[in-house]
């Protein structure tokens, strides 16, 4: 389990999140890029087209008329053996929804940067995580970065993970909070990245001498093909997708460890932890919100409340085992969600409760909905939420039916 590092040892370039994603894609030697600009992702497309135009990146940049087409281009290019990249946000990701399923079902290692933005209605260009959370069931691995270094590092790792598991990876990072905020980022040298990430070898092949048909109409039951080989029905292919997601936790950790050996920054855990060794109370969040939770935890500790922070780096596959291990000894887990499964509760809170079911623990879970549509989340509000949750736990209830919303209704 990796511990969140509060300081950086190497001075790097000053990069915003979008530039970090674009540089990560460039260092990964992507061969085909297709993306449609949308706020706040636009600078990613600008940076990449600039790299291609200047001849710094020998890739094909395909201009498309929509996000649906962008991912369709990446899907086809990946199928014939190109390393592909796309980026989008919010409504653009929603427009890709169908192709997200196609890419995962074809087991293509496409990497997508999702710059998290709220989704309409009403219109908002500001940050929350509803866009990518709404796509959690499409069969993509989802990574949530908490700073710009992690965006760059995650894009490079994403290709290694994707190509090893034959699964597409979505690298998510908070719009504006990270996408438009500059931080020092250590940019690894190209030759080191080349050693870490060998060229893409596709599991699919379409060649003149060896024609194939991918994604044929697949009937419900297994069936003999023309050569008499028993082939999957629809359900067997979907089972393999689920199995690959479940098994990918090992690959994600292994790639993260190897990245640490190559570049000095280890990503061996699916979670980040801070101050959890002796914590009574875990503050759980995803993305840049976990940073804010760190500040809140420090202030709570000053007031005698032993709080720690758990940041989910990976949301799909859901890191059940790690969460159970880190939370089971706590008295209370306070989850902060930047998304809602409407009609139920926050996505992270809901899934943590499910992960804890049947485990021998008395950890109470409280879920708070925060920061939707760019609403500022202050460390003080997070600390107050923890105090409110603590008071409710005194009553003895492990769970509450509804999530609390931190807003002014």
Partner 1 sequence: MGTRDCGHICGESSPGMGEAGKTGDWRTSRPVIDEERCTPARNHKPACFLCWLYCPEAVISKTIPVRIDMEYCKGCGICSQVCPTHAIAMVEEADSLKDR
CA dihedral 179, 183, 187, 193 (to 10 degrees): -50
Near partner 1 by CB under 8 A: residue from 213, 261, 394, 409:
213
CB neighbour burial string for 296-329, b if at least 16 within 10 angstroms, e if fewer: bbeebbeeebebbbbbbbbbbbbbbebbeebbee
Q: What is the DSSP letter of 72?
A: H
Choose one: 226-234, 245-253, 298-306, 308-316; the region binding partner 1 (CB under 8 A): 226-234
Cβ neighbours around 399 below 10 Å, total = 12
Stretch that binds partner 1, among 11-19, 62-70, 138-146, 235-243 (CB under 8 A): 235-243
- Of 12, 37, 81, 233, the residue at the interface with partner 1 (CB under 8 A) is 233
What is the Cα–Cα distance from 41 to 18, expressed in whole angstroms? 7
Print the binding letters for residues 364-403 with partner 1: x by CB under 8 A, - otherwise. ----------------------------------------
If we measure between CA atoms, which residue out of 350, 105, 366 comes closest to residue 239?
A: 105
Q: Does 232 bind partner 1 (CB under 8 A)?
A: yes
220 lies in the site for partner 1, by CB under 8 A? no
Which residue, 11 or 216, has its beta carbon nearer to partner 1?
A: 216
Structure tokens at 305: 């409340």
Binding of partner 1 by 80 (CB under 8 A): no
- Residues with Cβ within 8 Å of residue 396, at least 6 apart in sequence: none
208 binds partner 1 (CB under 8 A): no
Give the C-alpha separation, 98 to 73, whole Å: 13
Interface residue with partner 1 among 63, 66, 190, 215 (CB under 8 A) is: 215
Which of 65, 191, 207, 227 binds partner 1 (CB under 8 A)? It is: 227
* CA distances in angstroms from 307 to 6, 35, 144, 317, 366, listed in the order given: 17, 42, 22, 26, 14
Residues touching partner 1: how many (CB under 8 A)?
A: 30
Q: Give me the DSSP letters along 317-352.
A: S--HHHHHHHHTT-SEEEEEES---TTS--HHHHHH
DSSP helix/strand/coil, 3: strand
Neighbour order of strands in the sheet with 32-34: 60-62, 32-34, 84-88, 111-116, 169-174, 141-144, 314-316
Task: Locate 165 and state its tokens.
Answer: 């598991």
From the list 65-73, 214-222, 356-364, 377-385, the region that binds partner 1 by CB under 8 A is 214-222
Angle of CA points 205, 97, 220, to nearest 5°: 60
With CB under 8 A as the contact rule, which of the stretches 89-97, 105-113, 320-328, 369-377 interacts with partner 1? 105-113
* Smallest distance, partner 1 to C-beta of residue 72, A: 16
Window of 18-26, 150-158, 215-223, 256-264 that interacts with partner 1 by CB under 8 A: 215-223
**Pick from 120, 198, 199, 222: which binds partner 1 (CB under 8 A)?**
222
Q: Which stretch binds partner 1 (CB under 8 A): 153-161, 224-232, 266-274, 303-311?
A: 224-232
> Of 115, 161, 166, 377, which lies in the binding site for partner 1, with binding defined by CB under 8 A?
166
Say whether residue 84 binds partner 1 (CB under 8 A): no
Q: CB of residue 201 vs partner 1: minimum separation in angstroms?
A: 14
Site map (CB under 8 A) of partner 1, residues 239-268, x = contact: -x---x------------------------
Q: Which region among 7-15, 144-152, 216-224, 247-255 touches partner 1 (by CB under 8 A)?
A: 216-224
Q: Which residues bind partner 1 (CB under 8 A)?
A: 105-107, 166, 203-204, 210-219, 222-223, 225-227, 229-233, 236-237, 240, 244
């Amino acid at each position: 389990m990796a511990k969140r590092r509060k300081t950086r040892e190497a001075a790097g370039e000053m990069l915003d999140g979008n530039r970090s994603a674009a540089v990560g894609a460039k260092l990964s030697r992507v061969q085909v890029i297709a993306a449609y600009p949308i706020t706040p992702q636009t600078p990613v497309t600008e940076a990449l087209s600039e790299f291609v135009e200047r001849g710094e990146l020998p890739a094909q940049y395909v201009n498309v008329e929509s996000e649906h087409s962008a991912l369709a281009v990446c899907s086809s290019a990946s199928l014939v053996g190109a390393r592909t990249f796309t980026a989008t946000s919010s409504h653009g990701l929603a427009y890709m929804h169908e192709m997200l399923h196609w890419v995962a079902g074809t087991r293509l290692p496409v990497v997508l940067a999702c710059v998290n933005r709220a989704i309409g209605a009403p219109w908002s260009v500001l940050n929350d995580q509803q866009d990518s959370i709404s796509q959690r069931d499409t069969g993509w691995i989802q990574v949530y970065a908490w700073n710009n270094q992690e965006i760059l590092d995650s894009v490079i790792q994403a290709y290694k993970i994707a190509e090893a598991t034959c699964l597409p990876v979505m690298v998510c990072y908070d719009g504006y909070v990270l996408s438009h905020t500059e931080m020092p980022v250590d940019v690894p040298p190209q030759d080191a990245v080349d050693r870490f990430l060998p060229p893409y070898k596709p599991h699919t092949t379409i060649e003149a001498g060896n024609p194939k048909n991918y994604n044929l109409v697949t009937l419900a039951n297994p069936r003999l093909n023309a050569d008499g080989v028993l082939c999957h029905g629809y359900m067997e292919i979907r089972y393999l997708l689920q199995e690959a997601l479940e098994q990918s936790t090992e690959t994600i950790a292994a790639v993260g460890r190897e990245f640490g050996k190559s570049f000095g920054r280890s990503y061996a855990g699916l979670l980040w932890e801070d101050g959890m060794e002796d914590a009574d109370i875990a503050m759980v969040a995803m993305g840049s919100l976990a940073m804010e939770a760190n500040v809140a935890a420090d202030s709570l500790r000053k007031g005698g409340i032993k709080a720690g922070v758990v940041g989910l780096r990976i949301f799909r596959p859901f890191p059940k085992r790690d969460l159970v291990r880190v939370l089971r000894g706590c008295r209370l887990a306070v989850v902060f969600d930047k998304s809602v499964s409407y009609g139920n509760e926050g996505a992270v809170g809901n899934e943590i409760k499910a992960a804890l079911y049947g485990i021998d623990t008395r950890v109470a879970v409280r879920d708070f909905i925060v920061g939707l549509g760019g609403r500022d989340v202050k460390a003080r509000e997070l600390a107050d939420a923890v105090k409110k949750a603590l008071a409710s736990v005194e009553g003895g209830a492990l769970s509450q039916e509804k999530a609390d919303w931190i807003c002014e209704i």
